[in-house]
Amino acid sequence: MKNQLTAHQLSVLRMVADGRTHSQIATALYVTPKGATATVNRVLAKLGAANAPHAVFLACQAGILDGRPRRHGDHAGYEAHRKRGEDPKQCEPCRLGERAHKQAMKKRSERNREAA
Ligand SMILES: [Zn+2]
């Protein structure tokens, strides 16, 4: 994205994504409702969004907001931790899921060898 959001704009976008109104955002940020609206409008302009739901959608697509539920407890969840730069072994469901996955892969290759 050519127009990167500032940390402040990103926090406002997260609040929009949480369903907060401009006046709730204003209260949270200790700014006037007009100031909150101005920031929201700047975020919309930077994202090229027509309105707030459109902005949240575009931000999710661009990976600015992670709108997808995180998957845990299997090989895909384990790999997703790695992609986020986290240690997947710290997540118990994913650690166990990855172990089960490896055992299943090993069993499958043993079966294939026996069949050959
Ligand atoms: Zn996990």
Residues of the chain with pLDDT under 70: 1-3, 63, 66-70
Q: Are 22 and 51 in the same domain?
A: yes
Q: Are 81 and 49 in the same domain?
A: no
> Residue 68: its pLDDT value, please?
59
**Residue range(s) defining the domain that contains residue 34:** 7-61
Q: Are 80 and 55 in the same domain?
A: no
What's the whole-model pTM score? Answer: 0.55
> Residue 37: its pLDDT value, please?
96
How many domains is the chain built from? 2
The Å distance, Cα 20 to ligand 1 centre, comes to 29
> Residue 1: its pLDDT value, please?
44
Residues lining ligand 1 (ion), CB within 5 A?
Answer: 72, 77, 91, 94
Closest CA to 95 of 74, 67, 111: 74
> Residue 13: its pLDDT value, please?
93
> Residue 58: its pLDDT value, please?
84
The Å distance, Cα 86 to ligand 1 centre, comes to 9
CATH number for 45: 1.10.10.10
The Å distance, Cα 96 to ligand 1 centre, comes to 10
The Å distance, Cα 37 to ligand 1 centre, comes to 37
